[in-house]
């Protein structure tokens, strides 16, 4: 069993899917969890289920001031942040480049890329004093172009490089930065992809998607020294060896 007692984990996009699963998995391991999302009602309900070790903070990750205030709230309640899980991300609207809406395309970059940067910027000065882990949800889309996903692929490629930069700049100060590419996960995003009918991912059968709890358990394992060989890199949850080490079954 991995013991996270006394640690505080801040999770973006915590209102559903991977974020919600991570909140339960980490709190079950003894951690304090700080749940960030725009949907205040959803994260408050999840925090109520977990109890006094959970704090719900309504937050728009695309807004620096909102992220900074959320981190300040975590520090005020629990004394610091030991783990940041950059999970918030969107893929809608799916559209070809020539048909894309410039404002909506930019909004995806604001959430998926700038939101990760804001999280890094807010927690790294805190972690520089005593160490910590920054775990970012990546994607195969960071390395492979897909039709209709120019905004998503671009944002995830940028996030992959942000992880490398964070490692290069801060590994010497005890900050462990890594990415996790989970493959396709049974979440609302996959339903949006399915309904778009665009590119081969939309054609996948629902049974091919892994449950979000698998991703959450992998994130928990990434907080342990057993994952240190991947610092600054991206871990693929499609790898059966990684699933075995992270005790992800199925």
Phi/psi for 76 (5° steps) reads -65, -35
Is the peptide bond preceding residue 108 cis, with omega within 30 degrees of 0? no
Please give the Cα distance from 57 to 71 (Å, whole number).
Answer: 9
Q: CB within 8 A of 140, min separation 6: which ones?
A: 181, 183
Task: Enter the tokens of residue 76.
Answer: 């005020």
Other CB atoms within 10 Å distance of the CB of residue 246 = 24
- Find the angle CA(126)-CA(142)-CA(224) to the nearest 5 degrees: 45
- DSSP E strands in the chain: the ranges are 8-12, 32-37, 54-58, 83-86, 132-137, 175-181, 234-236
Cα(98)–Cα(121) distance, integer angstroms? 34
117 is catalytic: no
Of the candidates 134, 238, 113, the one whose C-alpha atom is nearest the C-alpha of residue 178 is 134
| 9, two tokens | 């984990």
CB atoms within 10 A of CB 95: 18
Please tell me which residue in 149, 152, 214, 221 is annotated as part of the active site: 152
Active-site residue list = 152
């Amino acid at each position: 069993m991995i013991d996270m007692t006394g640690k505080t984990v801040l999770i973006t996009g915590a209102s559903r899917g991977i974020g919600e699963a991570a909140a339960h998995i980490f709190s079950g391991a003894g951690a304090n969890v700080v749940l960030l999302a725009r949907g205040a009602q959803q994260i408050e309900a999840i925090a109520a289920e977990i109890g006094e070790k959970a704090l719900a903070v309504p937050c728009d990750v695309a807004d620096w001031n909102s992220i900074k205030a959320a981190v300040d709230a975590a520090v005020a309640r629990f004394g610091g942040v030991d783990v940041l899980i950059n999970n918030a991300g969107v893929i809608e609207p799916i559209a070809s480049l020539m048909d894309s809406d410039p404002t909506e395309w930019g909004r995806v970059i604001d959430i998926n890329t700038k939101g990760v940067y804001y999280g890094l910027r807010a927690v790294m000065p805190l972690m520089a004093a005593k160490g910590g882990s920054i775990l970012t949800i990546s994607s195969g889309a960071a390395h492979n172009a897909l039709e209709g996903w120019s905004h998503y692929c671009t944002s995830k490629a940028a996030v992959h490089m942000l992880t490398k930069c964070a490692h290069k700049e801060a590994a010497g100060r005890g900050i462990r930065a890594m990415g996790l590419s989970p493959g396709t996960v049974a979440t609302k995003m996959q339903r949006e992809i399915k309904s778009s009918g665009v590119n081969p991912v939309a054609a996948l059968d629902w049974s091919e998607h892994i449950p979000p709890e698998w991703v959450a358990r992998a994130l928990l394992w990434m907080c342990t020294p057993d994952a240190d060989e991947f610092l600054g890199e991206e871990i693929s949850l499609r790898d059966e060896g990684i699933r075995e080490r992270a005790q992800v079954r199925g």
